[in-house]
Structure 1
Amino acid sequence: MTKQGRFLVVEGLEGAGKSTAIATIRQWLEGKQQPVVCTREPGGTPLAEQIRTLVKQVHTEPLTAEAELLLMYAARVQLLRNVIEPALAAGNWVLADRHDLSSRAYQGGGRQLDTGLINGIRQTVLGDCHPDLTLYLDIDPAIGLARAQARGELDRIEQEQLAFFQRTRQVYLHIAATEPGIVVIDASRPLPEVQQSILAALDAFWEQGYAALA
């Protein structure tokens, strides 16, 4: 039987190590001889990348929380329809740096927007599409922000106050504890231990579902 593509997402606060995690996952997929398409949010298509610039840059005109939310979903649906869905239909695995959980945590938790508003937009834009597995890299916001600052200049969202990221983390953890398909990885540990946890989660995912299609 032909194996089907799967949708994997890496989530986390700034400085959690998403880029390194994605490289680890990609190497794992290559070891399984699975074709993989990598994406990022916001972005991943030419138009969505332009939206990313709007969201990330500091503007003289304040960007409202509602406008930020709508821009995120505008970029997301462009990526979903033009990249993610075609890739999955072709049997590829999609490996994404952020997806819908980011908006629920950042705009819902950090910006404190109404959950009903977000859920209504989610349903309209995404429908029944959801990741097969999400790895949430959990880290204390203070540690993550220090790592991000060490990388260089911070973007508009990274410049938010610590309390913003604390609220975001709380929502991430709440959703991870109450919804299936989300694995929490302690990203504050040494890198080899973090990678070991990521690989263990991937191996479990493979054995529990995907290997059965072989």
Structure 2
Amino acid sequence: MSGGIAWMGAPHHTPSSAVPGMLGGISLTLARGVETDEFLINLGADPDELAARTPYRELRAPAGQPDRPSPHLNRAMYGTCGEWTYVLEDWGMATWATGYQGKAESMLPREGEEILCLTANRFSPPAQIVHTPGARAYRACFGTDTGQGSALDAALGAAGAVFPSMPEADEAEVVAYFEEHGERLPELVFTAAGAYTGVAIDRDAVEAGELPGTLIAPA
């Protein structure tokens, strides 16, 4: 077993892998304070499919009927670790992040819930962190923190995931830092998220597609 979640960041810039599960370009959404199936249904999952607990590698999108094409569906892998539910997607974005920004009612932050989302943002870079420690969301691009002085921000700083910026450092220092550490930035962000949440996800199970999967119809 290979745990933690830092490993997801290393192949962040590579295309989605052809393995039975996932490897490259993973977006990760973590949620606590909400029941797992409820959170997934809010994302657009089908309750009956969730009840089946089908392994991700066995998911099959339904074929469209003549003159009735199937709705667009994204595949997701999910599980739990401690008090957190995790959702993995490799289609370029995180469904929760796109839904929340689109004001989808089921995905708006609520008091008593916490969501931490690392979305690859392939269609509208750069990659982003979205953190909702309650009913308000705070966003940060990879390489920055949320500016809230939170425990998450502290974890990002400790992992080296907060890069220097103007005018805190001169241009030459900023460029040199990005040249040295930029390629590892996603790994550093995922390292910080793992340190903050304590979540560990088995890389071997993810690559093999052994975790439960579901098809999500975005809002």
Fold similarity call, TM over 0.5:
no
TM-score, normalising length: structure 1: 0.30
Q: Which has the higher helix share?
A: 1
Q: Which has the higher strand share?
A: 2
